[in-house]
Chains A and B, each alone.
Chain A
Amino acid sequence: MTATFDPPAPRAPVAAPDRPGRLSRAVVHGWVMTRRNLLHAVRSPAEPLLTLFIPLMMVLVFGFVFGEGMAHPGTGGADGFRAFLMPGIFVMAMLYSVSATATGVSMDSSRAVIGRFRSMPMAASALLTGRAAADMLRALLETAVLVGCGLLIGWRWEGTAVEAVQAIGLLLLFRFAMTWVGIYLGLVTSDPDVVGLIVYPLAFPLGVVSTTFTPPELMPGVLGAVAEWNPVSSVVNAMRELFGNPGVGGDSWVAAHPVLMAVLWPLAILAVCVPPALARFRNLSR
């Protein structure tokens, strides 16, 4: 007897899922989430472009509009001031990126897709590591654009290539710390609209009361001391030293050890931000 109808062969029983090690799972899933965040940025490029807009505006405003007026004995004329300014602009860009990170994290935790992530055997850390990694890749790109912009307006690194790479390394370390500040802020603020804004009142004084634009000795007493110890100042000073750009000088201990401080400050910020961010994140996933 010949069968005229072949019933569909039942599929093999569902194979037991292979269980990769925790670490390799965390790495793979972290990479998947990194790609997701990069795709978001590519598919809605307005936000990353706007993020770059602020530092570029600062170059224009402070380097050219105010340039001549803001020059001081340490820098010589407007050309010297622009060479003095560029490291400050690099750091400023990293500082303001906190806003984008925090908004992204906050939006993510309110998205429905999080429910699906949590119903999957996903490494929970991947959401945060993916965010941090994507941010660092973005930071590299932003730095390249800003370096290009600096070169266009006459800024140069006067030191060795190794020193220049060290300077960029310090900048990225600072960005890494800022990324975690952003992750923490994004996790504690449930409203994505608010979180993007609260960053500005925090970042603005940090950016201005620093050595970015003016030497601390030109500021009144307390402000001058704050500016000397400001983490932003340490990173800016260290980059000026490594790039061989004009600096603010000063004879305090912090002013004398900018590179050391530019390493210590971000580590301290990470030590303060990462544990509560992780704790907060674990509580969210209950």
Chain B
Amino acid sequence: MDDPVITATALRKRNGATRALDGFDLAVPRGAVLALLGPNGAGKTTAVEILATLRRADSGRACVAGFDVAREPDRVRERIGLAGQYAAVDELLTGRANLVMFGRLNGLGAAAARRRADELLERFALTEAAGRRVDGYSGGMRRRLDLAASLTRDPQVLFLDEPTTGLDPRSRNGVWESVRDLVGAGTTVLLTTQYLEEADRLADRIAVLDSGAVIAEGTADELKSRIGGDQIDVVAAGAGDLGAIAAVAARISGASPQVRTDERRVSVAVSVSARIGVLGGILRELDAAGLEVEDIGVRRPTLDDVFLGLTGRAGADAPAGAERHETEEVSA
């Protein structure tokens, strides 16, 4: 029960000149949902593809569902489902023909494959489109079909590479629900995402990936407390008050605030348990000092904040974001 169902040790993989994975370690316990969180180019897809036997690591070792991915890929393939970053379905076939085909290749008999296909079509709201060719599907429909295809045989381990990218909120909720159902049934899920919020909603544990290595792992709360929890943002009514507001925020929270002059915004990190108290304290002080604010609120940290907290720099894909976090001295 406690033996991990996915383990990776010191995986390395070069993609041309880039080190896509550079000492990647991971252990996912049975029945858990682990989110691999990282910016563009962090190596999420490379990690998933190696674990799902699509590619071979240059060095290191990985086991999935008890079998070595390099030595016994077929045993692994019998036990996993994969929905890659880009839908991998046959464009020229109908949705139903795709699912029947994948079911057959997954070892189901002809009748069982048809039954399973209909079940999955129903579950992913594709029954109406089932008889249409996939090249006429919308992006979201393709994604859902791809997800359905990864479930043609109840997998022990499911890999989802950015499963909700490009989905509308309703479809996104649908995917989240399916993931929760699967986990309820005992499937272990490894998903990748660029959104801390998604990782937060779905995952038991989050591994933060940066430049091919896991730089932090833990529950969402653990990670957030490592970066100082939530953020309180105060937007001043006038730019002249920024310094005074920053001073109030610093005194109440005990942390050093970041000031962004062009947005007239003061941000300060606050632990999840203390955030309401601090928010109230700041409000009262500002009121007493007669400082006018346009907006004030508690904000969940974004991937950017997590990154900044863990690496001291912004996520690779957000160079402009780095500037936002620089603390500026503002004279009152």
Contact = CB atoms under 8 A, between A and B. Distances in A.
Nearest to A18: B107
B36 interface: no
A26 B301 CA distance: 51
A19 B153 CA distance: 14
Given A40-B92, A112-B86, A119-B77, A29 B185 contact: no
Interface in B68-116: 74, 77-80, 82, 84, 86-93, 97, 101-102, 104-107
B155 interface: yes
Given A11-B185, A39-B93, A17 B78 contact: yes
Contacts of A117: 105
Contacts of B82: 115-116, 119
Interface in A214-253: none
Given A17-B78, A115-B54, A115-B88, A36 B101 contact: yes
Nearest to A17: B78
Contacts of A113: 88-91
Interface in A1-47: 8, 10-11, 13-14, 17-20, 28-29, 32, 35-36, 39-40, 43-44
Nearest to B65: A14
B106 A121 contact: yes
Nearest to A42: B92
Interface in A41-65: 43-44
Interface in A109-131: 111-122, 126
A13 B186 contact: yes
Contacts of B324: none
Contacts of B155: 14
B113 to A, nearest CB: 9
B77 A120 contact: yes
Given A112-B87, A113-B90, A115-B88, A10 B186 contact: yes
* CB-CB nearest 3 A-B residue pairs: A116-B88, A121-B77, A17-B78
B92 A39 contact: yes
A119 B149 contact: no
B105 A29 contact: yes
Contact of A119 (B80, B90, B91, B97): B80
B276 to A, nearest CB: 33
Interface of B: 52-56, 74, 77-80, 82, 84, 86-93, 97, 101-102, 104-107, 133, 149, 153-156, 184-187
Given A36-B101, A115-B84, A119-B77, A17 B93 contact: no
Contacts of A13: 186
Nearest to B77: A121
Contacts of A20: 107
B142 to A, nearest CB: 10
A121 B184 contact: no
30 contacts: A8-B184, A11-B154, A11-B186, A13-B186, A14-B79, A14-B154, A14-B156, A18-B107, A28-B104, A29-B104, A29-B105, A32-B104, A32-B105, A36-B101, A112-B84, A113-B88, A115-B54, A115-B88, A116-B84, A116-B88, A116-B89, A116-B102, A118-B53, A119-B52, A119-B53, A119-B77, A120-B102, A121-B74, A121-B106, A122-B105
B254 to A, nearest CB: 45
Contacts of A114: 88
Contacts of B78: 17, 19, 121
Contacts of A8: 184
B92 A43 contact: yes
Nearest to B106: A120
A246 to B, nearest CB: 44
> B78, B80, B88, B156: which has the most chain A beta carbons within 10 Å?
B88
Nearest to A286: B56
A35 B97 CA distance: 10
A40 B74 CA distance: 27
